[in-house]
Amino acid sequence: MDISNSLDPVTGDISDNDAVVMIDQAVSLSSSSLTLSGKTKILFITRSQNNLVITSIDIQSVEPVDQRTRDALQKSVQLAIEITTNSQEAAAKHEASRREQEAKGLLERQRIKDEGEAEEVRKQLLLLQAESAAVEITGQAKAEALSHAESARIAGEAAVEQATLKAKAVQIESESELLRLKSAREAEIKFLREKNELEISKLAEISRIETEKFKSQVESIGASTIQAIATSSADTQVKLLQGLGLQSMLVTDGHTPINLMGFGQGLLGDLTSNPIKKQRLSHGVSNKYNVEETE
């Protein structure tokens, strides 16, 4: 195959169209080879007549050109998938049936084994009944003595076993109750601790809010207003307190002792009825003062 006319005079490469044509021709030949220099190289067996070598063929996909062939191929693939699915489903059903049969067989074997053991127990019972009848025939007295002795032994063993089981049951019940009480106590203690912590936090926050509120009220009132309230008449004090949203107040320098025995009767009435105490408490009012508020 002569490709001299297809080579590029500068690079020596073959164009894509010429390469496709040569690939088709090379593939159609059973013992030919073709070499493409450039990006794509294809390899086949070398043909001595033209010394062409195809290095490799990279087939990305193969699709039939005929639409009917393509549809038939797609149906074949779908049929193969369906056959595989049905085969797997049948195998799964067969395996499930086999396991079910094995389980039934094991159950039947266990039933037969249990029946055999029951027959063995029944046989032992019949043997014991026969021995008992023989003992009764040989002598009523001896039989009664043996029967009483055996009965006493069985009763004693049963009583011991019953007492042992009862003791174990009581122990288990006691341990369970102790564990339940311990868990309940721990849960209760945890609940009370969290409740107390929450209550303490709540009270602390309320106290802080009340303190900030009272501090803001005192700062908004001012020392001159407090002094005016302390030195004014009773009617004026009532009006001022009502205007400030207060019911009663006590003004002191923070160092003078205060008798709170009559505090519950109302600070305002007490201060009004005792002008000496009023004068003493209101004397020397400065920035160092304490104001108590009752809403």
For residue range 95-119, list pLDDT tens digits in order: 999 999 999 989 999 989 999 899 9
Q: What share of the chain is helix, strand, coil (3-state, %, to 5)?
A: 70, 5, 25
Is residue 148 within 8 Å of 156, Cβ to Cβ? no
| Confidence grade of residue 138 (pLDDT, cut at 50, 70, 90) | confident
Read off the pLDDT of each residue in 131-144 and give the average, rounded to a whole number.
75
The pLDDT value given to residue 76: 87
Which range, 20-24, 60-64, 146-150, is most confident?
146-150
Read off the pLDDT of each residue in 246-266 and give the average, rounded to a whole number.
62
- The span from the CA of 45 to the CA of 28, in Å, is 13
What percent of the chain stands above pLDDT 90?
A: 23
For residue 201, pLDDT over 90 is answered with yes
Helix (H, G, I), strand (E, B) or coil at 11: coil
The pLDDT value given to residue 192: 93
SS (H, E, C) 259-285: CCCCHHHCHHHHHHHCHHHHHHHHCCC
For residue 22, pLDDT over 50 is answered with yes
Is residue 252 within 8 Å of 292, Cβ to Cβ? no
The pLDDT value given to residue 38: 41
For residue 35, pLDDT over 80 is answered with no
The pLDDT value given to residue 189: 93
For residue 200, pLDDT over 90 is answered with yes
Is residue 272 within 8 Å of 230, Cβ to Cβ? no
Helix (H, G, I), strand (E, B) or coil at 47: strand
- Mean pLDDT of all residues belonging to the chain: 72
- The span from the CA of 273 to the CA of 104, in Å, is 105
For residue 274, pLDDT over 70 is answered with no
The more confident residue out of 188 and 67 is 188
- Enclosing H/E stretch for 250: strand 249-252
The more confident residue out of 260 and 156 is 156
- The span from the CA of 148 to the CA of 137, in Å, is 17
The pLDDT value given to residue 51: 66
| Confidence grade of residue 194 (pLDDT, cut at 50, 70, 90) | very high
Read off the pLDDT of each residue in 223-247 and give the average, rounded to a whole number.
70
